[in-house]
């Protein structure tokens, strides 16, 4: 029986945040610090023939203007394919692409000087539509990889024959727009030259070891001379996974060449214009089913607009691909997926990672199938839902921890599905139309077969003389509660008081590489690595205690803060004192390697992941048929996460994800014409505010997963993924029209209503 796991200890990191005392990167400065500002391409595609910095250099406060030819190492950013340059050299391939770095003594001069660098561009034809990029004879957008940056296929069974014998076939095309992360703290870094000739890079980030590698590339110096220090990170959501490598290399090159600390903090405009976003998607999908509701075939095509460079697109695409038919057992499944290059800002990681696009499509189409079958949509989901002993879309047979049916049933009850769905009176007192909608999803936690090589985590744990515990891991706190959850895991496993556990600040020279903080994997992976270390240290302590107490070590029991054997009882602190007396080393390295996955890349079949989080969403809406406005009244968000380590933080993830998903569904419309983002600010890009928030009811299901710490699976991303289709299905229930494009703006809703009239 756990004592700490499942409770809700307070977040220690929040104290300083609430007091305004937490130091984010822009709150730091170093003696002699200079400021960098980027010169960026104003064209989606242009040849660069000359860069003249003379006017900028005339300003007395300007320190340097740096271009591609000044880069000491490789002009490449390592992510997956190493196709993206650090600074554009001969050609610029998207609006906002970095062309030169201006360094000045103060922020304002840097800003002004950046406008004085004169770059001679000759504009070239640009392709900003992914379908045009795919057309035969299209100009090559990405010079390294061509126009299809990545392609994945899954081919299971005989989809064509199954479709031909299906009693009912439904199909549709669904489109989704960009989504901007809109973390409140913009991207920022400070590069500081070190005495030994290396660089220390401070910054807001998710994945310090990605940046570490990138610095080695561009500076051409050994990684051992470089260290990356994460500062308090003001939100990330995937946006600080791959992207920060770019500003980090810019600042590092500037610091290296000028021998001064260099700060580079982006303005909001700059951030929206040129940081990665969620890929716009096009999904064409078709289901074939028997009269009784059994889905026998799914055929899908998935296209992502990747932007000019490949970033993480191959993996984003892969995750979307293997989840594209939904959390159902379907015997015949085929998908063809492409990440396509365009002359627009490169897209990258964003909470959900390729799944929200396909989930909007497949879960909308499930409801259309239900209509055609004359079946209740929740019944239809339950009939086809994954369960123990059944296989996923890619033929992964689920052997444990599958709470899908349970979570669907609980959410159905919590949203009063049967009662609300069959409401006779649909017009509310304010004249709006009521509707309730449902969706379900599954989410392979961790990197799975797509990122097998880095799906491991290291941890270091040591106990100090006073019984306090210090942990080092390389996964990061970015607001999600990482440090609190991992401290709880350490305390539980070690038998220490959770208040006495601290997480070492992230510095790549001091913490192990625990892999990236992505894919909802940190609790699972670092949690297991910490348990490994904690168990070792506990054994060392217990051996000493058993000897001193004169009892067999097997008789020892423990709870946080105490160790006892029968009536004999000592505190954890006393035990630690004994250990120091005995001169034992109270520290250990922990390691965890994700389970192996069997994957066949030929047919796209195998164990895509080792475990899945299962989701069901119920959404209630009120639609104004005359203005097209949608008000979300209530969201019930259910997830089988194996084990809720910290309930309050689990709720925080569920509610935050729901609101981000609601923004994606209804408001967040990043308008881009010919590769140019229009109004890159928070008055053009609308995210939900306090006035828009419905009641959000978390439903937590705990079907333990043996491979996770105390049974836990990942949770970071699932709360966002299936919100949009639940709202779309609720809108259909309310007003009888199906919106097939995100965001579902009032304009789109009125247009669709008009079209059916």
Binders in 475-514 for other proteins, by CB under 8 A: 478-481
Strand ranges of the sheet holding 501-503, from the earlier edge strand across to the other edge: 501-503, 469-473, 456-463, 587-593
Query: How far is residue 239's CA from residue 179's CA, in Å, rounded to a whole number?
Result: 11
Helices (H), 20-102: 54-58
623-656 CB burial, b ≥16 within 10 A, e <16: bbbeebebebbbbbbbbbbbbbbbeebbbbbbbb
Stretch that binds other proteins, among 248-256, 368-376, 508-516, 678-686 (CB under 8 A): 678-686
Question: Could you say whether residue 421 binds other proteins (CB under 8 A)?
Answer: no
Residues whose CB is less than 8 angstroms from the CB of residue 459 and which lie 6 or more positions away in sequence, other chains included:
471, 472, 473, 512, 514, 526, 529, 530, 532, 533, 589, 590, 591, 592
If one asks whether residue 25 binds other proteins (CB under 8 A), the answer comes out as no
C-alpha 541: how far from its chain's center? Answer: 38
Considering only residues 657 through 676, tell me which ones interact with other proteins, judged by CB under 8 A: 657-660, 666-667, 669, 671
92-111 residues in contact with other proteins (CB under 8 A) are 108, 111
Distance, CA of 414 to CA of 434 (rounded, Å): 17
The Cα–Cα gap between 290 and 164 comes to 11
Q: Is residue 367 at the binding interface for other proteins, with CB under 8 A as the rule?
A: no
The DSSP output letter for 708 is S
Report if residue 427 touches other proteins, rule: CB under 8 A: no
* Shorter beta-carbon distance to other proteins: residue 593 or 647: 647
> What residues between 171 and 200 interact with other proteins by CB under 8 A?
181-186
Q: Which of 15, 510, 547, 593 binds other proteins (CB under 8 A)?
A: 15
Among 3, 7, 13, 167, binds other proteins (CB under 8 A): 13
Packing angle, helices 377-384 and 355-373, rounded to 10: 110
Q: Which of these ranges, 8-16, 69-77, 297-305, 374-382, lies near other proteins under the rule CB under 8 A?
A: 8-16
Site for other proteins in 55-74 (CB under 8 A): none
Which x/- pattern, by CB under 8 A, does the window 259-288 give for other proteins? --------xxx-------------------
Q: Name the maximum alpha-carbon separation found in the chain.
A: 86
Residue of the chain from 231, 655, 729, 752 that contacts other proteins (CB under 8 A): 655
CB 691 → other proteins: shortest distance, Å? 4
Considering only 470, 587, 687, 704, the residue that binds other proteins (CB under 8 A) is 687
Question: Between 185 and 299, whose beta carbon lies closer to other proteins?
Answer: 185
Minimum Å distance from CB 693 to other proteins?
5
Q: Are 200 and 194 in contact (CB under 8 A)?
A: yes
C-alpha angle 587/590/595, rounded to 5°?
170
237 binds other proteins (CB under 8 A): yes
Q: Which is nearer to other proteins, 259 or 430 (CB)?
A: 430
Binders in 112-131 for other proteins, by CB under 8 A: 112
Site for other proteins in 714-753 (CB under 8 A): 745-747, 750-751
Q: Which of residues 523-582 bind other proteins (CB under 8 A)?
A: none
139 lines the binding site for other proteins (CB under 8 A): no
Nearer to other proteins, 259 or 683 (CB): 683
Residue 339 in 3-state DSSP? strand
Toward other proteins, which CB reaches closer, 582 or 751? 751
User: Whole-angstrom Cα distance, residue 568 to residue 549?
Assistant: 8
How far apart are the C-alpha atoms of 717 and 708, rounded to whole Å? 17
Residue 11 and residue 22: Cα distance in Å, rounded?
13
- Report, in Å, the least distance between residue 64 CB and other proteins: 21
Q: Which is nearer to other proteins, 77 or 232 (CB)?
A: 232
Of the candidate residues 1, 567, 691, 755, the single one contacting other proteins (CB under 8 A): 691
Find the radius of gyration of the CA atoms of the chain.
27
Distance CA 467, CA 379 (A): 54
Q: Which two tokens stand for residue 755?
A: 């079209």
Q: Which is nearer to other proteins, 167 or 269 (CB)?
A: 269
Least separation in angstroms between residue 185's CB and other proteins is: 4
Residue count of the chain? 757
Residues 287-346 close enough to bind other proteins by CB under 8 A: none
Nearer to other proteins, 320 or 688 (CB): 688
232 binds other proteins per the rule CB under 8 A: yes
Label residue 237 left, alpha or beta by phi (over 0 means left) and psi (-120 to 50 means alpha).
Answer: left
6 contacts other proteins (rule: CB under 8 A): no
- Among the candidate windows 69-77, 279-287, 399-407, 472-480, which touches other proteins by CB under 8 A? 472-480
């Amino acid at each position: 029986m756990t004592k700490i796991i499942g409770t809700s200890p307070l977040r220690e990191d929040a104290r300083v945040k609430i007091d305004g005392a937490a130091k984010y990167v822009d709150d730091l400065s170093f003696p002699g610090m200079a400021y960098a500002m980027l010169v960026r391409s104003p064209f989606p595609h242009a040849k660069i023939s000359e860069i003249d910095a003379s006017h900028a250099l005339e300003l007395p406060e300007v320190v340097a203007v740096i271009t591609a030819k000044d880069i000491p190492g490789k002009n490449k950013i390592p992510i997956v394919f190493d196709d993206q340059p650090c600074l554009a050299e001969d050609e610029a391939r998207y609006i906002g692409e970095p062309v030169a770095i201006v360094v000045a003594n103060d922020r304002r001069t840097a800003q002004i000087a950046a406008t004085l660098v004169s770059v001679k561009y000759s504009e070239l034809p640009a392709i900003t539509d992914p379908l045009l990029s795919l057309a035969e004879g299209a100009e090559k957008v990405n010079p390294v990889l061509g126009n299809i940056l990545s392609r994945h296929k899954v081919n299971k069974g005989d989809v064509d024959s199954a479709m031909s014998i299906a009693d009912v076939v439904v199909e549709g095309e669904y489109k989704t727009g960009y989504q901007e992360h809109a973390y409140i703290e913009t991207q920022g870094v400070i590069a500081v030259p070190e005495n030994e000739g290396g660089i220390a890079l401070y910054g807001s980030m998710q994945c310090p070891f990605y940046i570490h590698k990138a610095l080695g590339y561009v500076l051409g110096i050994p990684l051992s001379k470089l260290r990356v220090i994460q500062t308090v990170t003001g939100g990330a959501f995937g946006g600080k996974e791959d992207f920060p490598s770019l500003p980090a290399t810019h600042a590092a090159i500037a610091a290296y060449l000028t021998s001064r600390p260099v700060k580079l903090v982006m303005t909001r405009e700059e951030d929206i214009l040129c940081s990665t976003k969620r890929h716009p998607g096009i999904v064409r999908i078709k289901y074939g089913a028997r009269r009784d509701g059994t889905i026998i075939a799914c055929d899908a095509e998935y296209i992502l607009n990747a932007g000019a460079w490949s970033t993480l697109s191959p993996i984003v695409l892969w995750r979307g691909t293997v989840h594209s038919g939904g959390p159902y057992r379907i015997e015949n499944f085929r998908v063809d997926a492409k990440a396509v290059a365009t002359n627009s800002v490169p897209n990258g990681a964003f909470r959900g990672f390729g799944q929200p696009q396909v989930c909007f499509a497949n879960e909308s189409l499930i409801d259309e199938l239900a209509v055609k079958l004359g079946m209740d949509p929740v019944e239809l989901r339950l009939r086809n839902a994954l369960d123990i002993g059944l296989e996923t879309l890619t033929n992964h047979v689920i052997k444990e921890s599958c709470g899908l049916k349970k979570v669907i049933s609980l959410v159905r009850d919590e949203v009063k599905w049967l009662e609300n769905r069959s409401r006779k009176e649909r017009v509310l007192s304010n004249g709006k139309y009521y509707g309730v909608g449902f969706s379900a999803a599954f989410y392979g936690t961790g990197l799975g077969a797509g990122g097998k090589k880095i799906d491991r985590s290291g941890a270091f744990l040591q106990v100090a003389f006073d019984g306090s515990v210090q942990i080092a891991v390389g996964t990061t706190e970015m607001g999600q509660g990482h440090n609190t959850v991992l401290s709880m895991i350490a305390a539980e496993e070690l038998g220490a008081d959770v208040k006495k556990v601290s997480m070492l600040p992230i510095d790549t020279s001091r913490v192990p590489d625990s892999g990236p903080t992505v894919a909802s994997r940190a609790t699972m992976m670092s949690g297991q690595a910490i348990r490994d270390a904690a168990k070792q240290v506990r054994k060392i302590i217990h051996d000493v205690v058993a000897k001193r107490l004169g009892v067999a070590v097997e008789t020892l029991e423990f709870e946080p803060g105490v160790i006892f054997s029968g009536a004999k009882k000592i505190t954890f602190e006393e035990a630690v004192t004994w250990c120091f007396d005995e001169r034992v080393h109270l520290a250990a390295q922990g390691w965890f390697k994700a389970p192996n996955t069997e994957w066949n890349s030929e047919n796209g079949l195998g164990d895509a992941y080792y475990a899945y989080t299962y989701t069901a969403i119920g959404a209630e809406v009120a639609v104004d048929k005359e203005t097209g406005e949608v008000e979300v009244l209530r969201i019930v968000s259910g997830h089988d996460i194996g084990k809720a380590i910290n309930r309050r933080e689990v709720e925080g993830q569920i509610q935050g994800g729901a609101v981000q998903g609601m923004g994606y569904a209804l408001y967040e419309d990043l308008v881009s014409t010919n590769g140019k983002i229009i109004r890159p600010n928070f008055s053009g890009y609308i995210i939900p505010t306090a006035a828009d928030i419905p009641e959000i009811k978390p439903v937590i299901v705990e079907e333990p997963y043996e491979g996770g710490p105390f049974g836990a699976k990942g949770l970071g991303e699932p709360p966002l993924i299936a919100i949009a289709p639940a709202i779309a299905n609720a809108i259909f229930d309310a007003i009888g029209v199906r919106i097939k494009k995100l965001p579902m703006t009032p304009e789109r809703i009125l247009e669709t209503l008009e079209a059916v009239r």
